[in-house]
Amino acid sequence: MDFQLTEEQRIFKKMVHDFADQRMAPLVKAWDEECAFMDRKILSQYVEMGLLGISLPEKYGGAGLSAFEAILAIEELARISPIAASPVFETSVGPIRVVDIFGTEEQKQRFLPPSCMGEKLMAVAMTEPGAGSALTDLTTRAVLKGDHYVLNGQKRFISGGGHSDSYMVYVRMSEVKGWKGIGGMVVEKDAPGLSFGKQEVFMGLHGMPSCDLIFEDCIVPKENLVIPEGGFAKLMQAFDVERCGNATMSLGIAWGALEAAKKYSQERAAFGKPICEFQAIQFLLADMAMRVEAARLLIYRAATNAGKGFPSIFESSVAKCFSNEMAKEVTDMALQVFGGYGYSKEYPIERMLRDSRGWPVAGGTVQMQRINIAGAMLGRRFNQR
């Protein structure tokens, strides 16, 4: 077992690190304070650096690398801000992978190259007003009529909502209850009958679009169906990759907080010496480092074992659950190192703490991850009804 990055991976990681510091860091404060979305023109810089479609095939404009390289990039960018990491997340471990793995050649030709070029981004639309953790309760309905589907229903808290160019929508395709009636299709932003609710303003993750998707007799071409009825397991299999991305967002935030706390502890003086010389601060830094390193290893294991396919549900759920909770703890400890300054908006720690709180809810709660973990350990599914 080798825990070392290859020379190519080290060069890649350093490149993304510098890109985050030099080009993205100056934008973070405005994103947070103004709840401003990333200017789409910035995506050309990601394309220039080869950061979009990292895990998508080269024949469609991607880099043809594994999910692990995408995780390395997300970690470096989320260290600055999850907003900066979002384009890599969406084009490398997000719903576009459903098209990459399960789509037809025609679908791949339509959706993958624009994603790799930053021309069109795809978001996932799963959650509904009455279906979050109980996802198989979803009621958004697709009915086939001739050469198109007609969708009716509503999706809630959709990251990228109103901003992304297309959506991988989980839909019920018949009256069959539970997972057996569910499939997935791509709904493009300009589809007739699709409208968007108001943009949400959350506690953290300011600058990340999120709103309802409202389908009122929405027309979707038949050829946009990627996962037919009964393919819910495939949709969730692809979502295991997204869980690793979610976990890495938490890791990046925590790592950024640790780095900031280390720097501050060497600059801030009390009683005539830097506060890093006090054992109380040393213990906080050590505890933060242990948690960050443990999360990193769990995520790297899941992504490495996945290769260019999917991670196991056990490994991805363990990584997500631990990393989500770790980020909350580490950002809180970082705030304590900063003292009163950590509570001030003049410093980044309070933003990091707020941003860390969103990931244990998004992409499957930590409680649902624990159910996944127990089920994988015991080799059975637990009916929650």
Is 217 within 8 Å of 319 (Cβ atoms)?
A: no
Same domain, residue pair 373 and 259? yes
Which ranges of the chain have pLDDT less than 50?
Answer: none
Same domain, residue pair 165 and 66? no
Element (H, E) at 17: helix 7-19
Specify the pLDDT at position 308: 66
Question: What single DSSP character describes residue 198?
Answer: P
Q: Which of 202, 230, 258 is the last residue of a domain?
A: 230
CA distance 266 to 349: 16
Same domain, residue pair 241 and 371? yes
Q: Residue 361 falls within a domain, yes or no? A: yes
Residue 338, domain CATH:
1.20.140.10
Same domain, residue pair 220 and 135? yes
CA distance 278 to 60: 54
Q: Which of 211, 230, 249 is the last residue of a domain?
A: 230
User: Structurally, how many domains does the chain consist of?
Assistant: 3
Residue 97, domain CATH:
1.10.540.10
Which amino acid, one-letter code, is at 86?
A: S
Specify the pLDDT at position 3: 79
Q: Which of 116, 150, 181 is the last residue of a domain?
A: 116
In total, the chain counts a number of residues equal to 385
Same domain, residue pair 183 and 101? no
CA distance 322 to 327: 9
- The residue segments making up the domain with residue 133 are 122-230
Is 300 within 8 Å of 362 (Cβ atoms)?
A: no
Same domain, residue pair 368 and 331? yes
* Burial of residue 60, with CB atoms counted within 10 A of its CB: 0-12 exposed, 13-18 middle, 19 or more buried: buried
Specify the pLDDT at position 311: 79
Tokens encoding 360: 């244990």
Q: Residue 2 falls within a domain, yes or no? A: no
Same domain, residue pair 130 and 108? no
Same domain, residue pair 219 and 272? no
Q: Residue 243 falls within a domain, yes or no? A: yes
SS3 297: helix
Residue 127, domain CATH:
2.40.110.10
Nearest to 47 by CA among 113, 103, 111, 2: 113
Tokens encoding 330: 């580490």
Q: Residue 103 falls within a domain, yes or no? A: yes
Q: Residue 67 falls within a domain, yes or no? A: yes
Same domain, residue pair 85 and 132? no
